[in-house]
Copies of this chain bind each other. A is one copy, B any other.
Amino acid sequence: MASTDAASRTAAPRTPPPLEGDAAALRAFLDGPHAAVRDQVRAQLVEHAPILDERVDLPRAELRRRVRDLVVDIGARGQSGHGFPPQYGGGGDIGASVAAFETLAYGDLSVLVKSGVQYGLFGGAVLQLGTARHHEAYLPDLVSGRLLGCFAMTETGHGSNVQALGTLARYDADTDEIVVTTPDDASRKDYIGNAADDGEMAVVFAQLEVGGEGHGVHAVLVPLRRDGEVLAGVRIEDCGAKLGLEGVDNGRIWFDEVRVPRGNLLDRFATIDDDGTYRSSIENPDRRFFTMLGTLVQGRVSVGGAALGASKVALEIAVRYALRRRQFEATTPGVEDLLLDYGMHQRRLLPLLARTYALSCAQEEVAGQLHQVFSAGTPDADERARRALESRAAGTKALLTWHATTTIQECREACGGAGYLAANRFSALKADTDVFTTFEGDNHVLLQLVAKGLLTDYSSEFEDLDQFGMVRFVTGLAVETVIERTAAHQLLERIRDVLPGGRDGWDQEAGLLDPDYQLAMLRYREEHQLAGVARRLKAGVAAGTAPGTVFSAVQDHVIAAARSHVERLVLEAFVARVRAQPEGPTRDTLAALCDLHALATIEADRGWFLEHGRLSAPRSKAITREVSTLLRRLRPVAAPLVEAFGIPPGVLGARDLVG
């Protein structure tokens, strides 16, 4: 009898109960611990909402002024300073500041980016690289928006390779000053936000020279303007029109022997003594450089959050449009069908929606780590945790910003020609977010950074590499260690064990919806790719090939491995947060969404899994079928799933599309 029961259970078609969508509960899930801060920002966005319409027709100069006023207003209201210490007008809560920035991305993105430049990059550099006297002198005015400034790192000739930048900061012992100079045109500061119109001061990254000796890149405070007039020795040029972010005044800066007091060196990690001697708590110059840079990691986390917020705006518009717009009679004669009732339309939008939830969880995780590391005290406290955070922030930023580009594009197309009008928001979303994939670190370079961390296991002995670092790393011996750590046959055994059906059960239908199966698949891919990279690097070097050539040949494999790593972290974060939910209809809906994300991710790379024996052909096809089933299950809760983003109606805009 028991076996008959089992057979009939197997034979019965699985008809899971319909999902329920409680927008408020889903919103609580997404808002996480900083719901109150997010609501504050939402209220402020409603007040600032007129900019979303005004921007369409304002000439650039006026738009910039409007945006500046809003950025200053944010500071004046005390909403800029969640991450600053309370004694300077801040809230002392880094997690809150990340949540606030992410929510601010529901609004105008020029306001967001200019705020980010002012309070995040400029403010963050003064806070993290400066010491008490800089904090006291500048933070109160900076946090309240009275002192506007720039973060002058990027140069025309040096984008991603910051260590190689050319601006000079020479200490002149005779006058006890630092002399800042742009030696050539390739070393002009470029694309610097706040520079063209508004910045009164800049944190300038330059090669510090003391007593004729170079000490690598350091940050120096250099005044740019007084009462709106550019100071002597400083030349500023407007970068002019851009694809988007037209409310941000990007500019180029040249310095011609500009003298600032020695005290303007932001000297948390290295200082020039009264007797003119250079002194640093960190001996190794590469390590010093990366320690300084590491303190600025919040910038990358913030860009990721901005990409997330913008993706949500695009998705809510496209989903609501698809729940309103009818096209062609498909089901009922005389009645055109809703777009979202078409299978292809579900395929286009719902996996992006699921991925947006997954990335929200991943971003929450990064924000939490950031909060922990930076609230924990000194930068030396746990260097490994810091490196892991930097890697995670870099990888998450890359995935989030590519996701925004893909999502906004797909949503625009899903709204047809109406999506092309400036009045309907996509125009702004597309144009403004486009640069996210390459600013605050080019995504490909960032993923290489992630790979380097994985290959070295964040061990400090490899911190002396430059930011790219892979090539010189190739010549190192540690590859052996990596191969041992990730030896493919061990992994295979380990991961097979968690798979339903055991060693020979790869083809069983059961288990596709088991998060442990899904995670094991992503973990297997990651570790297999990483071991493969290590082997190929090692083999290339052993064969006597030049390291640069070896690296170039392996580079796409390196980037694939890093991406797989971050994909695994994203799924882990989503699975963990769903598991932490109380049982009930909201968890069921989230679990289905998580399944969709996991299976769509595996499906997208099924070629790899098939090549590596981790999917049989029938199981691969079963995944595609299961994705389709999940799309149909999730279709009825699409509306609450986007309502849960909590984008205030007046801020969503796109009234032609969403009604």
Contacts and interface: CB of A to CB of B under 8 A. Distances in A.
Contact of A243 (B59, B329, B420): B420
A241 B556 contact: no
Contact of A331 (B435, B439, B548, B555): B548
Interface stretch (A411-419, A512-520, A646-654): A411-419
Given A330-B471, A613-B617, 10 more contacts: A57-B240, A161-B336, A191-B420, A244-B420, A331-B547, A342-B552, A344-B556, A417-B435, A607-B620, A610-B617
Nearest to A60: B57
A161 B328 contact: yes
A553 B443 CA distance: 36
A416 B605 CA distance: 27
A407 to B, nearest CB: 13
Given A343-B556, A416-B442, A442-B416, A243 B548 contact: no
B556 A336 contact: no
Contacts of A332: 548
Given A190-B417, A434-B412, A617 B611 contact: yes
Interface string A540-566: 000000111101111110010000000
A423 interface: yes
Interface string A396-427: 00000000010001001100111111110011
A612 interface: yes
A548 B617 CA distance: 29
A240 B435 contact: no
A438 interface: yes
19 contacts: A56-B241, A159-B327, A191-B417, A240-B421, A240-B423, A242-B427, A328-B466, A328-B471, A330-B471, A330-B551, A342-B555, A343-B554, A344-B556, A417-B438, A420-B434, A430-B434, A556-B628, A610-B610, A611-B620
A628 B553 contact: yes
Most chain B CB inside 10 Å of its own CB: which residue of A56, A154, A244: A244
Interface string A222-246: 0000000000000000011111100
The 8 closest A-B pairs by CB, nearest first: A331-B548, A241-B422, A243-B427, A607-B607, A610-B610, A330-B548, A606-B607, A344-B555
A621 B442 CA distance: 29
A209 B553 CA distance: 68
Contact of A438 (B413, B442, B603): B413
B617 A241 contact: no
A146 interface: no
B159 A417 contact: yes
A426 B437 CA distance: 15
Contacts of A613: 617
Contacts of A327: 159-161
A56 B555 CA distance: 37
A398 to B, nearest CB: 11
Contacts of A548: 330-332, 337
A631 to B, nearest CB: 10
A413 B437 contact: yes
A431 interface: yes
Contacts of A607: 603, 605-607, 610, 620
Contacts of A588: none
Contacts of A409: 405, 409
A341 B434 CA distance: 25
Nearest to A415: B438
Contacts of A437: 413
B417 A154 contact: yes
Interface residues of A, number: 80
A658 interface: no
A431 B426 CA distance: 11
A405 B405 CA distance: 11
Contacts of A471: 328-331
A468 interface: yes
Given A159-B417, A413-B438, A471-B330, A422 B240 contact: yes
A559 B342 CA distance: 12
Contacts of A611: 606, 610, 617, 620-621
A444 interface: yes
A490 B283 CA distance: 73
A241 B427 contact: yes
A147 interface: no
A371 interface: no
Interface in A342-396: 342-344, 347
Interface string A310-350: 00000000000000000111111000110001111001000
A164 interface: yes
A623 to B, nearest CB: 10
Contact of A553 (B242, B243, B343): B343
Interface in A616-648: 617, 620-621, 628
Contacts of A427: 241-243
Interface string A485-527: 0000000000000000000000000000000000000000000
Contacts of A242: 420-422, 427
Interface in A441-464: 442-444
Contacts of A422: 240-243
Most chain B CB inside 10 Å of its own CB: which residue of A191, A337, A423, A611: A611
A559 B344 contact: yes
A347 B628 contact: no
A413 B443 contact: yes
A402 to B, nearest CB: 9
